[in-house]
Amino acid sequence: MTEWWRDAVIYQIYPRSFQDSNGDGIGDLPGITRRLDHVAALGADAIWLSPIFTSPMKDMGYDVSDYTGIDPLFGTMEDFDALIARAHELGLKVIIDQVISHSSDKHPWFAESRADRTNPKADWYVWADPNPDGTPPNNWLAVFGGHAWEWEPRRRQYYLHNFLIQQPDLNLWNPAVQDALLDTMRFWLERGVDGFRLDTVNYYFHDDQLRDNPPNPVYDGPDVYAWQRHVQSRNRPENVAFLKRMRALTDEFDDRMMVGEVGDNGQTAIDIMAEYTAGTDRLHMCYSFEMLSRTFTARHFRNTIQGVQKHAPDGHSCWSFSNHDIVRHVTRWADHASDPDTLAKQAAAMLSSFPGTICLYQGEELGQTETELVFEELTDPPALRYWPEIKGRDGCRTPMVWDAAQPHAGFTTGEPWLPVKEPQAARAVAGQQGRNNSVLSAYRATLAFRKAQPALRWGKTRFLDLPEPILGFQRDHQGQALTCVFNLSKQPVTLTVAGDSELTGPVLAELDGDRLTLPANGHAWLTGAVALFA
């Protein structure tokens, strides 16, 4: 059995925003299939599709009402089969999102569960009696604001929703619920998918005694959810046994994998990543939000990688800088960059040099920036509720731009569900094709270089003791060694190289004798495991 995922480049596609094929302004499966050549030419090994299942779209598909159906917005099951076939022709694996910590409130399971306390699915969701004064059973908060409990008058009970009210939490303490969810995963495995991205994988279980969460003494910002330490409502040890059941299922099929999204930060996230990927009977890999933060320092990147290496020496990590939930990194880290294009190229080089699997978010290869939206253009529930203090996720979800000369940059012939604005259209694929200095060309060259270097794909990692803002480390594998170095600032720096070496790959640096000069946001790969001195 191969382990293709260990050094894979995964390209995340947000289906609503990739390519519309029928003019309704919403991306779809035939549109994705049409554009797969772009992904293959980039040098990706796999695509990850954000949810395409039947859904009322209260949270853009992360509220599933049929786990084995394709939402008509995106097409048909035949369209999905055609996408799988074309992806596999191009050598691309296909990973789909699995949102099984919660369903939509329109799912038939929930419709039955909420009807009364005695029906066959009465305990398929998390129900609790009110306190004597009618208040919710504990202090748990929802990620999108307010209490995590909603009153259901038919049962005279509250149900748990860690996210929207319309996203009730499934009760995975019930073995029948686990069995039903595993059956839906089997359906897609038999359909030919190559793996799963597991949404909010650390939310599957809750404290069965419903004890209060303690306060978080280190946060007092505008996000009230972060005012608690969510030790009772997520990150429960019971998760691991269910992960083992999921792994046993995927292991029945050849070359399949699971990557879990750990919705947490700091040392807690690193500890969970370690726990969930330890050994060979849990998840294949995890990622957290550590590298999706605004922190852009050598210490941060080093500590994150070393933390996982220390706590999960036999585990595996997946790293990304952007996704559909986070401000795009070219915008997020703009204060540390001389210009967006140089930052985008450095990010590609840095991510490609990190140990483990890497994930790219659509448009990242164009150096795409966050879209500035006004309130009337929003669709994201948190933004609609808390604007302007919380701007939500729409800004990173605007449509992919293909050709600036076409209406809506070639995304649709209709009116797009989110607007395509000029700053984003200016970065369209057509305008970057064939330009050696474009961000797109840099991504293609960087990913090709990574693929040709065993040290970058599978090598061990040893960090160099260099002062801020220099991030340096060595990668080595079976006799091949590379030294990777990055200037995380807008000011040029010069380092001394001790040992014989030369520059290799698509670098932004100059080597003159033993003097290595890195311009603003410069990066370099040096042959051999050489020492560097500031």
Q: Considering 28, 199, 275, 370, which one is annotated as catalytic?
A: 199
- Other CB atoms within 10 A of residue 379 CB: 16
* DSSP secondary structure, 158-184, as one string: EEE-SS-TTSPBB-TTSHHHHHHHHHH
The answer to whether the CB of 48 falls within 8 A of the CB of 10 is yes
Distance CA(83)–CA(87), nearest Å, equals 6
- Candidates 11, 5, 30; CA nearest to 324 is 11
Q: What is the three-state SS of 385-419?
A: HHCCCCCCCHHHCCCCCCCCCCHHHHCCCCCCCCC
CB-count exposure of residue 10 (10 Å: 0-12, 13-18, 19+): buried
Q: Is 24 a catalytic residue?
A: no
Strand pairing class (195-198; 93-98): parallel
The length of the chain is 534
Report how far residue 353's alpha carbon sits from residue 340's, in angstroms, rounded to the nearest whole number.
20
CA distance 246 to 282: 8
Give yes or no for a contact between 282 and 245, defined as CB atoms under 8 angstroms apart: no
Which residues, 6+ apart, have CB-to-CB distance to 163 below 8 Å?
A: 59, 62, 102, 142, 143, 144
The catalytically annotated residue of 133, 220, 252, 389 is 252
Tell me how far CA of residue 17 lies from CA of 104, 360, 413, in angstroms: 22, 15, 13
Kindly give, in sequence order, each residue whose CB lies less than 8 Å from that of residue 68, ignoring residues fewer than 6 positions away.
53, 184, 187, 188
403 residue type, one letter: D
Q: Residues 6 or more apart from 144 whose CB is under 8 A from it?
A: 163, 164, 381, 382, 385
Does a cis peptide bond (omega within 30 degrees of 0) precede residue 132? no
d(CA 42, CA 85): 19
Peptide bond into 407 cis (omega under 30): no
Question: What angle do the packed helices 239-250 and 175-191 form, to 10 degrees?
Answer: 30
CA distance 54 to 288: 27
Task: Please count the other Cβ atoms lying within 10 Å of the Cβ belonging to residue 534.
Answer: 12
Name residue, tokens 């090709």. 448
Active site residue 199: yes
Give me the residues paired with residue 209 across strands: none
Neighbours of 107 (CB within 10 A): 24
Annotated catalytic residues are 199, 252
